[in-house]
Structure 1
C-alpha cells in the first residue's frame, strides 16, 4: 500500500494578512446585520423579477394580432390536411372561401356559412380564419 500524507494548507500553518485583519466579534456582528437584510433583498429581487416579467409580457403581446369577427364578416378558411386536394401538392391553395360568419360558437370559435346560405357543419377556430378583403 501507498503511504498517504496529510497536507496542511498554507493559510492554516502560516499567518497571513487576512488572518491578521480578521476580527471574530466584528465578523459576527456583520453576519447578523446581513441576515437582517436578507428579507429586504428578497423583496427587492422579487420586485425586479415582476417588473422584468411585465416588460417581457408587454413586448410579446405587442406582436400578437387580435382577430375578432362580427356576424356578417367575410372570412377565408385555412385549408387543412384532410380537406386539401392531394393532386395539387404543395402548390395548392392554403386558404379557401370566402365564407360568412353567422355567430360566435364559443370564445375564439365561429360558425360559418357559405355565400349561398349553406351552413358549415362545425365551428372554426379563429386561428384558422382570416378576414377576406375584396
Structure 2
C-alpha cells in the first residue's frame, strides 16, 4: 500500500515535492476507490458497504447524483447492509482463488528441487525432480 501511495504522489507531483500535502487526499481517495485485482472490490465498498460517489459525478451531476433522495438512499443503505455478509463471503472465495493461482504460478517456476553441488559460498547447482539442471 505505501509503495502505491508513494508512486501515486510521484506521478502527480512531477518534481514539485512541496505540494505532496495537497495531493495526498486525492491519492488516498484513488487508492480506496480502485478495485483490487485480488478481490474485485474497492476497499471503500468493503469498509462501508456501498459504492463511493466520485467527485466528478457530483460536479457533472450524474444520474446517481441527480436522482438522489434521502429516503431512497436510506433504503439502499439498508439493502447494502443486508447483503454485506454475502458480499464478504464472495470476496473471501475470490481472494482464496487468487492466492491459489498465485501459488500455482510460483510453484510452477520454483517447484521442488535438489541441490547437486556447491558452486561457492551460498551458491549451489540444482536440478528439478526429473534431474533437469536449473539455471
Q: Shorter-chain TM-score: which interval?
A: 0.3 to 0.5
TM-score (norm: length of structure 2): 0.37
TM-score (norm: length of structure 1): 0.37
Relative contact order (alpha carbons < 8 A, sep ≥ 6): 1 or 2 greater? 1
From the two aligned structures, give the one with the greater strand fraction.
1
Tell which structure's C-alpha radius of gyration is larger.
Answer: 1
